[in-house]
């Protein structure tokens, strides 16, 4: 059993900071003016211009930021972090010309990770996922979503979700678990998709929800995965349990998944390269976040860009995430995803930064506790050794973290 890492408390007055644009909603600071953040009992009590600090906070112990840029703790809102093995062989197959769908049909793809995940016990899965989590945390991630979906049977999905919870406890990081039992059809259900979805809805989901292992429910709605009707069946089951939904939507084709998800008030629709105008309008009306996953787009050498301009015009919030998974996005840096979101998808730097903070938090239903530096929120923020926020997206392969305050503790610094 791994015990929690005893990081020192971040309580005190953090001074010598420069606030990144948009980092503290409602706080307007002149460029170049010094910012301060007061933390007590692990909670942000005040943030703003150092010169405007209320007298009551003056006596707190000092943490001097040395002129660092400060952002909210990053939020990685879409990952498949817990799985057995890896799939570098498929990378080679794709380099030789095979498509993702061809690899999947040849017995590779998600199902090959299912085999390796089923073979691993909980401790082995933990040991494999922990170094990957450490890499993401090194980029200033303070909250992360972890999906199941490589077990595809009750005991193995449970194993994945239990490991996700354990990772959160061991590293002192906020983990949101998402049940993705409808990720792929397990081989033992070949030709019996309906039976498998019945099992997901009537047994797996209720059992795992009762064990407190499910914060949200996701489906892979795609020609090589589950149909629109099957997706709706899972959403109905989630709704009956009062669980929020999200969707792997319109990645390889326009299935109409986003509009369906929006009807169920989905937290997010993710991938969305083939999202239609109707899908965008439905998401706008339901306040659903569009989660952009440039790592998967890049790995698959996709050429269908998500409809960024239309999402922007509609005011649909856009998040950016790693989609860390062994098949389509073996990405371990959210900063690199910011770079890709700008370079490949033409997001602006403020959009990319909002995409890994405030909008990513909303994609997990965590908007009241994460993604912003605001009074009353748990202290999650990152001090960066950069002059300008653009540098967070500009460098790739660089980790300019100076300090990380995570869950009110100094995790790096
Ligand atoms: O988000 N799209 C489906 N699921 C993953 C890929 C999973 C895999 O290939 O193992 C994704 O890209
Ligand atoms: Fe995914």
- List CB contacts of 9: < 8 A, sequence separation 6 or more: 42, 408, 409, 410
Pocket probe for ligand 1: among 105, 328, 329, 363, the residue whose CB has the most ligand atoms within 8 Å is 328
* pLDDT value at residue 1: 40
* Residue 4 belongs to a domain: no
Sign of CA dihedral 165, 171, 175, 179: negative
Quote the ipTM score. 0.93
CA distances to 147, 208, 221, 239 from 271, in Å:
15, 26, 11, 23
Instruction: Give the CATH number of the domain where residue 249 resides.
Output: 3.20.20.140
Angle, vertex CA 342, rays to CA 336 and CA 343, nearest 5: 85
Whether ligand 1 lies within 6 angstroms of the CB of 109 is answered as yes
Whether ligand 1 lies within 6 angstroms of the CB of 178 is answered as no
Residues 66 and 47 in one domain: yes
User: Does residue 229 sit in helix, strand or coil?
Assistant: helix
Which residue, by CA, sits nearest to atom 8 of ligand 1?
A: 327
Which residue, by CA, sits nearest to atom 1 of ligand 1?
A: 323
Of 195, 197, 180, nearest in space to 247 by CA: 180
What six digits make up the tokens of 41? Answer: 């009992």
Q: Check residue 378 and report its DSSP letter.
A: B
Whether ligand 1 lies within 6 angstroms of the CB of 248 is answered as yes
Residue range(s) defining the domain that contains residue 406: 12-71+373-412
Whether ligand 1 lies within 6 angstroms of the CB of 306 is answered as no
* Residue 7 belongs to a domain: no
Residues 197 and 280 in one domain: yes
> Which residues are known binding-site members for Zn(2+)?
78, 80, 248, 323
Residues 36 and 135 in one domain: no
The answer to whether residues 11 and 344 touch, using CB atoms and an 8 Å cutoff, is no
Q: Which of 325, 343, 363 is the last residue of a domain?
A: 363
Exposed / middle / buried, residue 160 (Cβ in 10 Å: 0-12, 13-18, 19+): buried
Whether ligand 1 lies within 6 angstroms of the CB of 326 is answered as yes
Instruction: Give the CATH number of the domain where residue 56 resides.
Output: 2.30.40.10
* pLDDT value at residue 28: 72
> Which residues are known binding-site members for 4-imidazolone-5-propanoate?
87, 150, 183, 251, 328
Residues 192 and 131 in one domain: yes
Q: Please state the atom number of ligand 1 nearest to the C-alpha of residue 109.
A: 9
Distance CA 116, CA 232 (A): 29
Strand partners, 405: 381, 410
Greatest Cα pair distance, the chain, in angstroms, is 69
What six digits make up the tokens of 222? Answer: 């795609």
What six digits make up the tokens of 353? Answer: 């930064």
The answer to whether residues 184 and 144 touch, using CB atoms and an 8 Å cutoff, is no
Cα(33) to centroid(ligand 1), Å: 44
> Phi-psi category of 34—alpha, beta or left, where left has phi over 0 and alpha has psi -120 to 50?
beta
User: Does residue 19 sit in helix, strand or coil?
Assistant: strand
* Residue 3 belongs to a domain: no
The answer to whether residues 29 and 48 touch, using CB atoms and an 8 Å cutoff, is yes
Of 217, 233, 354, 366, nearest in space to 290 by CA: 354
* Residue 6 belongs to a domain: no
Residues 354 and 398 in one domain: no
What six digits make up the tokens of 196? Answer: 């498998």
Distance CA 263, CA 83 (A): 31
Which residue, by CA, sits nearest to atom 3 of ligand 1?
A: 220
Distance CA 83, CA 86 (A): 8
Whether ligand 1 lies within 6 angstroms of the CB of 148 is answered as no
Residues 191 and 179 in one domain: yes
- List CB contacts of 104: < 8 A, sequence separation 6 or more: 110, 111, 184, 224
* Residue 1 belongs to a domain: no
Whether ligand 1 lies within 6 angstroms of the CB of 90 is answered as no
Cα(87) to centroid(ligand 1), Å: 12
Q: Please state the atom number of ligand 1 nearest to the C-alpha of residue 100.
A: 9
Whether ligand 1 lies within 6 angstroms of the CB of 110 is answered as yes
Cα(328) to centroid(ligand 1), Å: 6
* Residue 2 belongs to a domain: no
Element (H, E) at 131: helix 122-137
* pLDDT value at residue 5: 64
Residues lining ligand 2 (ion), CB within 5 A? 323
Residues 16 and 159 in one domain: no
Whether ligand 1 lies within 6 angstroms of the CB of 328 is answered as yes
Q: Please state the atom number of ligand 1 nearest to the C-alpha of residue 329.
A: 12
**Packing angle between helix 154-171 and helix 110-119, nearest 10 degrees?**
80
* pLDDT value at residue 4: 60
* Residue 33 belongs to a domain: yes
Distance CA 49, CA 34 (A): 6
Residues 198 and 312 in one domain: yes
Sole residue written with tokens 């401790």: 123
Pocket probe for ligand 1: among 80, 87, 146, the residue whose CB has the most ligand atoms within 8 Å is 80
Q: Please state the atom number of ligand 1 nearest to the C-alpha of residue 225.
A: 3
* Residue 238 belongs to a domain: yes
Pair type for strands 409-412 and 401-406: antiparallel
Residues 51 and 83 in one domain: no
- List CB contacts of 155: < 8 A, sequence separation 6 or more: none
Distance CA 74, CA 136 (A): 10
Please list the rounded mean pLDDT of every run of 10 residues in the chain (413 residues). 73 97 83 91 96 94 97 98 96 90 86 96 98 98 98 98 98 98 96 98 98 98 96 98 98 97 98 98 98 96 97 98 97 98 98 98 98 97 97 95 98 93
Cα(270) to centroid(ligand 2), Å: 8
């Amino acid at each position: 059993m791994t015990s929690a890492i005893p990081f020192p408390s971040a309580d005190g007055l953090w001074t010598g900071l420069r606030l990144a644009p948009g980092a503290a909603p409602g706080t307007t600071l002149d460029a170049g003016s010094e910012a301060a953040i007061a933390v007590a009992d692990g909670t942000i009590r005040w943030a703003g211009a150092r010169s405007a600090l209320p007298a009551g906070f003056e006596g707190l112990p000092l943490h001097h930021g040395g002129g660092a840029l400060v952002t909210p703790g990053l939020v990685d809102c879409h990952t498949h972090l817990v799985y057995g093995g890896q799939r570098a062989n498929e990378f080679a197959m794709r380099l030789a010309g095979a498509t993702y769908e061809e690899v999947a049909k040849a017995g590779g793809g998600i199902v090959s990770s299912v085999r390796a995940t089923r073979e691993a016990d909980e401790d082995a899965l933990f040991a494999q996922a922990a170094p990957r989590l450490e890499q993401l945390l090194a980029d200033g991630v303070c909250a992360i979503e972890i999906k199941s979906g490589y077990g595809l049977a009750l005991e193995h999905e449970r194993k994945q979700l239990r490991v996700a919870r354990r990772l959160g406890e061991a590293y002192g990081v906020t983990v949101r678990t998402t049940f993705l039992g409808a990720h792929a059809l397990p081989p033992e259900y070949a030709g019996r998709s309906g039976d498998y979805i019945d099992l997901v809805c009537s047994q797996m989901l209720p059992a795992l929800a009762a064990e407190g292992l499910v914060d949200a429910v996701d489906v892979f709605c795609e020609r090589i995965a589950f149909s629109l009707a099957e997706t709706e069946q899972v959403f109905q089951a989630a709704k009956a349990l009062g669980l929020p939904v999200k969707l792997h939507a319109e990645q390889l084709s326009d299935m109409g998944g986003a509009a369906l998800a929006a009807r169920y008030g989905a937290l997010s629709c993710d991938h969305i390269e083939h999202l239609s105008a109707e899908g965008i309008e439905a998401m706008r009306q339901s306040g659903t976040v569009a989660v952009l996953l440039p790592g998967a787009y890049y790995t698959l050498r996709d050429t269908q860009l998500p409809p960024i301009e239309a999402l922007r015009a509609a005011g649909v919030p856009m998040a950016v995430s790693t989609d860390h998974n062994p098949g389509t996005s073996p990405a371990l840096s959210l900063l690199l995803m910011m770079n890709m979101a700008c370079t490949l998808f033409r997001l602006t730097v403020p959009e990319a930064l909002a995409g890994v903070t405030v909008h990513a938090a909303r994609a997990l239903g965590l908007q009241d506790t994460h993604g912003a530096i605001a009074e009353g929120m748990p202290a999650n923020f990152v001090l960066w050794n950069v002059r300008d926020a653009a540098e967070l997206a500009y460098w790739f392969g660089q980790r300019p973290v100076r300090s990380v305050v995570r869950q009110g503790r100094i995790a790096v610094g």
